[in-house]
Amino acid sequence: MLVQGIVEIIRCVLCIRQGECRCARRTSGVDVGNSRKWLHVTDEDIRELDKFVVQSAAAQMRLRKELYFAFR
């Protein structure tokens, strides 16, 4: 998946440079089930990450509010 992501970035840069997008084709989907198996990711890992993401988003929102009112 990492290599596919890098290739997509290169395609985007080429499209921007050339001013046209010849890469509008869709790539095949990622089989999440198989990816989870070979990456050794469990449902518990995903739940923990979700908690972290939600906490990080809440902290970021608090910081934005503090900065907004501090410089108002």
Res 48: pLDDT:
87
Res 26: pLDDT:
57
Res 28: pLDDT:
62
Res 16: pLDDT:
78
Global pTM reads: 0.39
> Whole-angstrom Cα distance, residue 50 to residue 69?
29
Q: Mind giving me the DSSP string for the chain? A: -HHHHHHHHHHHHHHHHHTS-S--SPPPPP-HHHHHHHHT--HHHHHHHHHHHHHHHHHHHHHHHHHHHHT-
The encoded tokens of residue 34 equal 């198989």
Q: What is the pLDDT of residues 6-59, one digit of tens each?
A: 888 888 887 777 777 765 555 566 676 777 777 788 888 888 888 888 888 888
Exposure of 2 by Cβ count < 10 A (0-12 exposed, 13-18 middle, 19+ buried)?
Answer: exposed
